[in-house]
A = this chain, B = another copy of it.
């Protein structure tokens, strides 16, 4: 039994609280890649990594890496992401980074240099809150970021390439080559759903991560004066978009499967109360645990766009921003995590993840293992996101045990 000494509960609380003050606007966090808020968070974690005895660097896309060289240069990595959604909470991503730093810190102090190299990773741009691309940091690390991704722009028209250059990461040219030195990646994360909390369980080991795609749908109508154009003569992009969104939602509900469909972003142009909407751009987030069903679902929704275009005299275009198939976590790492939890007196639950994680991307190049702690009420991606510091500590202790087993 390794775990973490009891005094680490306070350190976790302090670190999460301090990190949770960076990028705060009102009650929520707004920490987007390549902004001053993000930079302050990265600098803070960089300091903690240094204090833990890790050698720190940033890769060409802004991922933060803290390394403790082992006898072997094969790497056992732990971590999560530092960015947040718009108006997000303090635990999503941050917990995995903080727990990774503290687990490494404790092991290095207590057990000296590891056999395998330990790396703590704070990924950038997991959420896709600023640019319409998720998993930016892990996709770079696995060589799946494309040159086209760099041309995607935020709401102010700044492209990812421009933001990278302005933040001091100029001239990157994806794809990078995928890392081949990883023997394992372990990620501790809040569940972000209601399963553990409603079952009264403290720890979960993830079996599979649901497939997920992000699509941008553009509905092109015609701008007209709101007072002088009879309603029947309009080509109102917003009316067409409302119809299409509700029809898609009904369609997905009708399948009675675990598929989830969400429109979280919708922009109306030109956006004046007295102008008939000329264009609506909205996002589709679609998730499914089964690869075949996932593919059929996308095709069905895409066909619905064509029908809507004919009915509403608008032009509807469908743009795949990214798509990732469901992935299974490593059987071996699941066992390592479950054993570590049991050794510390817990009875972990095995469950799938409805949320996407950097682990999902890294699975292409390394075995991945994920550990969940409960989210109160299943709430996440909002300021009310909450996990008790004690449960955060329990998760970090299991992470430390697993890291010791793999790296020492």
Main secondary structure on chain A at its contact with chain B? Answer: loop
- In contact, B214 and A273 (Cβ under 8 angstroms): yes
CB distance from A151 to the nearest CB of B (A): 18
Contact in complex: B225, A380 (CB < 8 Å): yes
> Per-position contact with B for A14-30: 1 when CB-CB < 8 Å, else 0?
00000000000000100
Beta-carbon contacts of A204-244 to B below 8 Å, as 1s and 0s?
00000010101000000011111111111100101101110
Of all chain B residues, which has the CB nearest A278? B382
With beta carbons under 8 angstroms apart, the residue of B228, B229, B380 that contacts A228 is: B380
**Interfacial chain B residues near A260, Cβ < 8 Å:** 226-227, 229-231
State whether A228 and B192 are in contact (beta carbons under 8 Å apart), knowing that A85-B274, A265-B273, A285-B273 are contacts in the complex.
Answer: yes
Given contacts A227-B210, A231-B252, contact A268 B272 (CB under 8 A): no
Nearest opposing residue in chain B for A246, CB measure: B242
Q: Mark A242-257, 1 if CB is under 8 A from B, else 0.
A: 1101100100110000
Report whether B253 and A264 are in contact in the complex, using a CB–CB cutoff of 8 Å.
no
Contact of A225 (CB < 8 Å), options: B243, B273, B277, B381 = B381
Question: Is the pair A277, B264 in contact by a Cβ cutoff of 8 Å?
Answer: yes
A28 to B210, CA, bound (A): 44
Given contacts A192-B227, A355-B227, A381-B223, whether A273 and B277 have CB atoms under 8 Å apart is no
Contact B227 A128 (CB under 8 A): no
Asked if A276 CB lies within 8 Å of chain B CBs, one says: yes
Q: Provide the residues of chain B in CB contact with A285, threshold 8 Å.
A: 226-227, 273-274
When distances are taken between beta carbons in the complex, the residues of chain B under 8 Å from A378 are 224-225, 228-229
Number of interface residues of A (CB under 8 A): 70
A227-B260, A264-B275, A285-B227 are contacts. A87–B242 as well, Cβ < 8 Å? no
Kindly report how many copies of this chain are found in the complex they form together: 2
Q: Does the CB pair B134–A85 fall under 8 Å?
A: no
CB proximity to B under 8 Å, residues A120-154: 127-129, 132, 134
Report the Cα distance A91→B167, complex, angstroms: 43
With both chains docked as a complex, state the minimum distance between the C-beta of A275 and any C-beta of chain B, in angstroms.
Answer: 4
Chain B residue nearest to A280 in the complex (CB) = B266
Query: Are A228 and B354 in touch, CB under 8 angstroms?
Result: yes
Interface residue A330 (Cβ < 8 Å from any Cβ of B): no
Contacts of A127 in B (CB 8 A): 272, 274
Q: Which residue from B226, B239, B275 sits with its C-beta under 8 Å from A86?
A: B275
Q: Is the CB of B225 within 8 A of A193?
A: yes
The verdict on A168 contacting chain B, using a C-beta distance below 8 Å, is: no
Given contact pairs A226-B381, A228-B355, enumerate 10 new A-B contacts (beta carbons under 8 Å): A86-B272, A87-B223, A128-B273, A134-B274, A226-B264, A226-B287, A227-B354, A227-B356, A264-B276, A266-B266
A-B contact pairs, 19 of them (CB 8 A): A85-B275, A128-B273, A194-B233, A223-B382, A225-B354, A225-B378, A225-B379, A225-B380, A225-B381, A226-B287, A226-B381, A229-B260, A229-B378, A239-B249, A262-B275, A262-B276, A264-B271, A264-B274, A265-B271
